[in-house]
């Protein structure tokens, strides 16, 4: 009997092979692709793996034309440049996966993982393999869970497969077809090539950011006043109960009335409160916490969490669940974690009854993210941070609530009420075991009702209302989750794609002119594409496939109908759309001023497949400059010729004038902006420009690799 197991990644294949047999033998295909041979239950087993998706959708006609007739093809044939590395994995599955007596689908148990394995079986091992296939389901890559999943296999869930197929087809319809139509509109109206990118979820996400951008730009600040007093006693600060006073005359009246007067304590009350433990991490929760604590982008956190999972240290990260079922074996996990002396300090204080503070959200496929109990070795600095964050969150959810007392005091100055509050900890509870939460523990002043308190200083602060805060990546993930746009597995990738397309910049996300004009143009001429409702409706219908409430065919048909309506709108308004998008592209790519007075614009040459800088007055002005691959434009100009300074290369990056004939002079030391000293090595911290906007890096790079976002610098240095 010959059995073939298909895994999603090489690391998973190795874990599964070694869990099923201590004598699993590693083999190599083409001298570089690993696969495994082993024996179990009188079967000869071959364990093969992909590297994520091995097959991609491709139109039956030309890739550069709009098409609704698609088929699956090996990814390396669809995109040789990006997916060429998948060639040997496909061929290994084709060679060793055909003609087996049975097959096991052992890819990650979610929609994407199910589709990856299904396609590998159908197109790699042959369609007949599906009739002999069963499914493994596991949430951790521990030996116990793998063996249990192997011995309790079940049929492949075809509803998950259909969901995955429908999702990919809809993404192609909305992404490729509409992007091609928009690019064609620019070509027809301006005879220029412009590569544009839109998407089923990507475009409504950008629309959310544009709405916030407009709110900020249109915001008109309103003045208000805050009246506060500093008492002689312990320099206690008290504030007027009206807090923000928008009537200037009222603020002046209060200030004049209270000036030079004492405060009398009218009321002192003590109340008690509790703060429940946090809930276990799902992917969104982990991404949000890692951003708040470490400044990690959601994509970075997701990548690290996936690596910890495939190494067997934590559970499957792409889950919506905030629940930890008892079947995980809490005591066994804690016993293993206690072999680490730091974890043991907290685990030794756990209550006798292990009951987690579960959240409301559930996921049929996987529990909340948790450690497996296996202690890691050889983690990178960032991996260690995420691993410990997961472990301490897991520990803390089993502890009791933290308890507080709050002292609320009302004081009277000439009939005007002022107040202050203090809070102190009476029982630390879970907060003692979760080092990422600051515990506010204030002392209570010795005052009582009827006391007269001398006022040292009375202050009237004039302030202005502030516009809505910009989204950061973590808050945007939360917003997408709240609006049910995208999935837990795709939201970070969607945000990353918006950065890649240069629609947004900065850690506090700002939409550039191209992004603003793209949404304005689409909202004017094909509103459905920016519609959250359309995207959410399709998302709900996709989820309905899993619940057997609808079919793959009906969802695809509806999506095709929606896309065709959008394409009709684009076709009707080709000239307007094309000219507006090209103007926006030109404006968003201005990098400086030309000597002739025109704008220097970063452009793409399809012929040379590279970027260059040309003048907006072309063909009257033919000034142009080639730029190195990956070059970034700094907010500096050359002292010699006035052209922009670019940054390119790595370890460390080089700085030079855009004009290569200017001498490629490096920036002089006085041109480099020093913003502080490195907390690790003490050398200068230099302001730099990067993918997500300005950031800070150590001058000692590459020996010292300290970096952080510019707006997080004060927090990092304080830490």
| Strands, sheet with 25-29, edge to edge from the N-terminal-most edge strand | 25-29, 33-40, 43-49, 2-7, 102-105, 133-135
Q: Quote the tokens at residue 478.
A: 């939360």
Comparing 13-22, 292-301, 669-678, the range with the smallest average pLDDT is 669-678
Worst-scoring range by mean pLDDT, 92-96, 116-120, 189-193, 664-668?
664-668
Joined together, the tokens standing for residue 680 give 């690790």
* Token code pair at residue 229: 């007093």
Identify the pLDDT of residue 675.
76
Q: What is the mean pLDDT of the segment spanning 303-311?
A: 95
Rounded mean pLDDT, 662-668: 53
687-690 — which CB contacts under 8 Å span 24+ positions? 688/647, 688/653, 689/632, 689/633, 689/634, 689/635, 689/647, 690/632
User: DSSP class of residue 343?
Assistant: H
* Residue 320 pLDDT exceeds 90: yes
Residue 616 has what pLDDT? 85
Is 89 one of the annotated active-site residues of the chain? no
What pLDDT band is residue 82 in, cutting at 50, 70 and 90?
confident
Q: What is the pLDDT of residue 332?
A: 95
pLDDT score recorded for residue 686: 79
Residue 146 to residues 106, 156, 383, Cα–Cα distance (Å): 9, 17, 23
* Residue among 316, 387, 392, 434 flagged as catalytic: 316
- Which of 534, 497, 501, 535 has the alpha carbon at shortest distance from 515? 501
Higher-confidence position of 439 and 77: 77
Supply angle C-alpha 223, 227, 233, rounded to 5: 155
Instruction: State both tokens at 430.
Output: 């879970």
Bridge partner residues of 185 (DSSP): none
Least confident of 138-147, 334-343, 426-435, 627-636: 627-636
Give the confidence band of 708 by pLDDT, cuts at 50, 70, 90: confident
pLDDT at 290 over 90: yes
N-to-C CA span, the chain: 60
What's the token pair of residue 688? 């730099």
Which pLDDT score is estimated for 669? 41
Number of neighbouring beta carbons within 10 Å of residue 691: 12
- Tell me the Cα Rg of the chain: 30
Where residue 597 falls (left for φ over 0; alpha for ψ -120 to 50; beta otherwise) is left
pLDDT at 713: 58
Stretch among 486-490, 589-593, 712-716 having the lowest mean pLDDT:
712-716
Tens digit of each residue's pLDDT (9 = 90 or more) over 152-190: 999 999 999 999 999 999 999 999 999 999 999 999 988
Spatial separation of the C-alpha atoms in residues 613 and 595, rounded to whole Å: 13
**518: nearest Cα among 505, 504, 507:** 504
pLDDT band at 689 (very low <50, low <70, confident <90, very high): low
Helices 552-572 & 532-546 angle (0-180, nearest 10): 160
Q: What is the mean pLDDT of residues 333-361?
A: 96
Pairwise CA distance, residues 82 & 613, whole Å: 26
Q: What is the mean pLDDT of residues 21-49?
A: 95
Mean pLDDT calculated for residue range 422-427: 95
User: Looking at 108-117, 458-467, 694-703, which range is the least confident one?
Assistant: 694-703
Mean predicted lDDT score pLDDT of the chain: 91
What domains lie within the chain, and their CATH numbers?
2-156 (3.40.50.140), 165-218+489-584 (1.10.460.10), 223-276+408-464 (2.70.20.10), 283-396 (1.10.290.10)
Q: Confidence band (pLDDT; 50, 70, 90) for 690?
A: low
Q: At what angle do helices 381-396 and 330-337 cross, to 10 degrees?
A: 130
The pLDDT confidence band at residue 429, using thresholds 50, 70 and 90, is: very high
584: left (phi over 0), alpha (psi -120 to 50) or beta: alpha
Q: How far apart are CA 667 and CA 677, in angstroms?
A: 20
pLDDT value at position 397?
Answer: 97
pLDDT tops 80 at residue 695: no
Rounded Cα distance between 521 and 450, Å, is 66
Query: Do residues 605 and 192 make contact, with C-beta atoms less than 8 angstroms apart?
Result: no
pLDDT of res. 668: 43
């Amino acid at each position: 009997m010959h059995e073939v197991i298909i895994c999603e990644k090489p690391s998973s294949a190795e874990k599964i092979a070694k869990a099923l047999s201590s004598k699993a033998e590693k083999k190599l295909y083409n001298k570089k692709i690993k696969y495994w041979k082993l024996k179990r239950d009188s079967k000869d087993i071959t364990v093969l793996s992909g590297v994520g998706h091995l097959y991609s959708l491709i139109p039956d006609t030309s890739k550069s034309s709009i098409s609704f007739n698609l088929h699956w093809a090996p990814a390396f044939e669809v995109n040789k440049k990006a997916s060429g590395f998948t060639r040997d994995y496909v061929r290994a599955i084709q060679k060793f996966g055909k003609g087996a007596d049975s097959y096991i689908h052992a890819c990650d148990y979610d929609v994407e993982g199910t589709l990856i394995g299904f396609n590998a079986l159908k197109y790699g091992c042959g369609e007949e393999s599906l009739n002999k296939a069963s499914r493994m389901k596991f949430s951790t890559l521990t030996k116990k869970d793998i063996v249990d999943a192997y011995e309790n296999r079940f049929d492949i869930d075809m509803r998950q497969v259909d969901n995955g197929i429908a999702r990919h087809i809809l993404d192609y319809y909305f992404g490729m077809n509409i992007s091609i139509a928009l690019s064609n509109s620019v070509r027809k109206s301006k005879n220029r090539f412009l590569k544009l990118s839109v998407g089923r979820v990507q475009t409504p996400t950008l629309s959310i950011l544009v709405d916030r951008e407009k709110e900020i730009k249109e915001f008109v600040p309103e003045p208000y006043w805050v009246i506060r007093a500093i008492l002689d006693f312990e320099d206690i600060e008290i504030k007027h109960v009206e807090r923000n006073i928008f009537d200037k005359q009222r603020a002046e009246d209060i200030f004049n009335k209270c000036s030079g007067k004492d405060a009398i304590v009218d009321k002192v009350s003590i109340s008690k409160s509790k703060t429940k433990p946090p809930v276990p991490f799902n992917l969104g929760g982990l991404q949000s916490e890692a951003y708040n604590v470490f400044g990690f982008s959601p994509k970075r956190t997701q990548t690290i969490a996936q690596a910890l999972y495939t190494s067997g240290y934590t559970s499957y990260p792409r889950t919506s669940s905030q629940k930890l079922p008892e079947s995980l074996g809490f005591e066994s996990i804690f016993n293993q974690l206690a072999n680490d002396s730091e974890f043991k300090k907290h685990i030794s204080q756990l209550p006798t009854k292990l009951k987690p503070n579960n959240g409301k959200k559930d996921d049929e496929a996987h529990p909340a993210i948790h450690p497996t109990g296996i202690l890691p070795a050889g983690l990178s600095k960032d991996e260690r941070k995420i691993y410990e964050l997961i472990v301490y969150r897991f520990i803390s959810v089993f502890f009791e609530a933290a308890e507080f007392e709050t002292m609320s005091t009302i004081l009277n100055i000439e009939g005007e009420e002022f107040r202050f509050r203090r809070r102190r900890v009476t029982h630390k509870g879970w907060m003692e075991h979760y080092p990422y939460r600051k515990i506010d523990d204030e002392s209570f002043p010795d005052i009582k009702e009827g006391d007269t308190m001398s006022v040292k200083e009375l202050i009237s602060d004039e302030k202005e209302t502030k516009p809505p805060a910009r989204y950061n990546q973590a808050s945007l993930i939360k917003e997408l989750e709240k609006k049910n746009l995208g999935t837990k597995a795709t939201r970070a990738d969607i945000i990353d794609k918006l950065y890649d397309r240069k629609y947004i910049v900065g850690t506090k996300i700002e939409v550039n002119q191209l992004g603003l004009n793209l949404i304005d143009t689409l909202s004017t001429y094909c509103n459905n594409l920016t519609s959250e409702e359309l995207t959410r409706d399709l998302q709900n219908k996709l989820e309905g496939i899993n619940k057997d409430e609808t079919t793959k065919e009906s969802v695809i048909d509806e999506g095709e109908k929606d896309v065709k309506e959008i394409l009709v709108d684009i076709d009707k308004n080709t000239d307007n759309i094309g000219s507006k998008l090209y103007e926006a592209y030109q404006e968003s790519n201005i990098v400086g001023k030309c000597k002739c007075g025109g704008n220097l614009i970063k452009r793409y040459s399809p012929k040379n497949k590279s970027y260059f800088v040309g003048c907006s007055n072309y063909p009257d002005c033919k000034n142009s400059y080639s730029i190195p691959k990956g070059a970034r434009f700094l907010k500096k100009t050359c002292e010699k010729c006035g052209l922009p300074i670019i940054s390119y290369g790595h370890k460390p990056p080089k700085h030079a004038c855009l004009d290569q004939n200017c001498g490629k002079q490096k920036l002089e030391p006085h041109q480099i902006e020093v913003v502080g000293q490195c907390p690790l090595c003490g050398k200068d911290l230099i302001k730099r420009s990067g993918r997500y906007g300005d950031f800070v890096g150590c001058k000692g790079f590459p020996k010292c690799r300290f970096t952080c976002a510019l707006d997080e610098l004060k927090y990092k240095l304080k830490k």
